[in-house]
Amino acid sequence: MYLTKEKKAEIFAKHNESATDTGSSEGQIALFTFRINHLTEHLKGNRKDYNTERSLVKLVGKRRNLLDYLIKTDIVRYREIIQELGIRK
């Protein structure tokens, strides 16, 4: 499996105050970004995998909703997470 418990805890620990704080927007955005990058790599080799493509589109939408929420509540945190993850080119 590409996402182990340790890797997930590491992602949350890097983007939150603690590894057990899984509900913060920054942690969820970082986790979605990790999964999006993994699915994008998978789709480069498997172009006709439409189920994965659908999952990717749903994840991008979820991440977009969280980013929209974050931009409304705290623009500074939004800019930090965007720069840290390198989402915007």
**How many residues would you count in the chain?**
89
* Lowest-confidence segment of 17-26, 52-61, 67-76 by average pLDDT: 17-26
Residue 89 confidence class, pLDDT cut points 50, 70, 90? low
Q: Would you call 55 exposed, middle or buried from its count of C-beta atoms within 10 A (0-12, 13-18, 19+)?
A: middle
Contact 81, 70 (CB under 8 A): yes
Q: Look at domain 25-85 and name its CATH class.
A: mainly alpha
Cα separation, 34 vs 9, whole angstroms: 13
Cα separation, 49 vs 56, whole angstroms: 11
Instruction: Look at residue 18 in the predicted model and tell me its pLDDT.
Output: 75
Question: Amino acid identity, residue 24?
Answer: S
pLDDT tens, position by position, 22-60: 889 999 999 999 999 999 999 999 999 999 999 999 999
Calculate the CA 66 to chain-centre distance. Answer: 10
